Amino acid sequence: MLRIHYSLESQLKDGIADIAAPEELSIQVRNLVLKTAKRKKVGFGSTIAEHPSQSGGAFHAAASGTVRDLDYHHLVIACGEGGDDAEPVNVASLQPGRELLRTLQELGIDIAVLSSRAETLVINGMNPEPGVSVAEQMLADEMENLEAGLDVACALIEPQRTILAVADASEYRLPGTTPQSIKAKYPNSLDALVVKAVTGEEFPSNAKIMSVMDLYALGRVVRTGLPVTETVMTIEGRNYRVPIGTPIRHLLSCLGIKAASGDTVVLGGSFRGEAVYSLDEGVRKGDYGMFVISSDAFPHVQDVSCINCGECVLNCPGRIQPNLISRYAEYEMFEMAEKHGLHSCFECGLCAFSCTMRRPLLQYIRFAKDQLRAAGRSEQA
């Protein structure tokens, strides 16, 4: 078995920098409920789509402009003169309850974790993946937003204790929380493993977890009264504030990064991120990193047969059999995939990263989960 220490340590460089405004925004709207139409003018912060679930946050325009193109997958806004900008909402004046939750959801916050009480609230302050330093950057520079987010989260969840999980040797603290150190090694930053490290239990019913990034978004919404229209991303070791929908091509141009033919551009982390199909694709809510991987850096992922070497099983923190589950998913035998622990998968990506044959194990697993969701079967984990 190959043992590699995937470090989550980071060396922060300066503060969070802003990215120049793009000429157009490309926003993924697949499976969302559209609230605009082609050729319609939209203002900054206006609602362009809603999430179909009861708790998912709405999506908003990160700039004024006109909807230039729209299909089942993408909505493109040509930035410029648009409709009326969104007016700030006095979120801070609302008392904990349904009205506050509904308002937060309308402003782009996923309210699932905020909708019920819990004995323990864990704030995950670990950097999510190797090479992504967004969590520590926010703990260093965004304390006002984090404190505002924590106040609202605690008012809704009413925890008896609140823990900040940070990397060992980290000196970052958050008032109102008790720090707890965790070894700075991936996949220790995954929510399920952080909760287990803090409480000693797997999936305890009386504990909830929020990432520092979620707390930051909540705090900005509360302080400004404006919706979520940006994300913070680590790109080549530095963190940037990026409007949602900014095309990858624009980011590469602004930062002077070259992506040659055959290279892979990944949105998200190096383990759990997704390769983009086109440089015209836009940054999504929840993207915290971007990587350009040279075509000769790794062997190509390919649809080949599993040789049952067992590396994926040995590296799996969920103690499941990714080799077996991925094969059931590959042949659309989803019930068998469920029976063998599909929903116990954390989607850490270690199985695919360590696969001897470079099979797309994580993609097969996500495919199975997506198909089951589309069929109306919710996850059981």
For residue 376, the model assigns a pLDDT of 75
Would 306 be classed as within a structural domain?
Answer: no
pLDDT band at residue 381 under the 50/70/90 scheme: very low
Comparing 82-91, 239-248, 349-358, 369-378, the range with the smallest average pLDDT is 369-378
Q: Is the pTM of this model over 0.75?
A: yes
**Under 8 Å CB-to-CB from 207, ≥6 apart: which residues?**
118, 119, 120, 121, 122, 195, 198, 199, 201
Residue 196 lies in a domain: yes
Which of 223, 240, 272 corresponds to the end of one domain?
223
Contact between 218 and 109 (Cβ < 8 Å):
yes
**pLDDT tens per residue, range 173-187:** 999 999 999 999 999
109 & 217 share domain: yes
List, for residues 168-220, the tens digit of each pLDDT value. 989 999 999 999 999 999 999 999 999 999 999 999 999 999 999 999 999 99
- 102 and 182 co-located in one domain: yes
Q: Check which CATH number belongs to the domain holding 191 and give it.
A: 3.40.50.11540
On whether both 99 and 211 belong to a single domain, the answer is yes
pLDDT of residue 186: 96
Number of domains composing the chain: 3
Domain check: are 95 and 208 in the same one?
yes
pLDDT at 1: 58
Q: What is the pLDDT of residue 72?
A: 87
Do 111 and 202 fall into the same domain? yes
* Residue numbers of the domain that contains 371: 311-375
Query: Is 50 in the same domain as 141?
Result: no
* Whether the predicted pLDDT of 379 surpasses 80: no
Query: Is there a single domain that holds both residue 97 and residue 81?
Result: no
Evaluate whether residue 231 is within a structural domain. Answer: no
Give the type of residue at 147: E
Residue 304 lies in a domain: no
Domain finish residue from 241, 266, 293: 293
- Sign of the Cα torsion 72, 78, 82, 85 reads positive
End-to-end CA distance of the chain: 28
Residues 26 and 121 grouped into a single domain: no
Same domain, 80 and 105: no
CA–CA separation, 306 and 358 (whole Å): 9
* Residue pLDDT, tens place only, 284-331: 999 999 999 999 888 888 889 999 999 999 999 999 999 999 999 999
Same domain, yes or no: 141 and 199: yes
Whether 101 and 161 share a structural domain: yes
Q: Domain for residue 201, yes or no?
A: yes
pLDDT of residue 31: 86
In a domain, 298, yes or no: no
Same domain membership, residue 128 and residue 77: no
Residue 28 located in a structural domain:
yes
The angle subtended at Cα 62 by Cα 56 and Cα 63, nearest 5°, is: 150
Letter for the amino acid at 362? L
Handedness of CA 165, 127, 196, 151 (dihedral sign): positive
Cα–Cα distance between 43 and 85 in angstroms, integer?
A: 4
Does the pLDDT value for residue 380 go beyond 50?
A: no
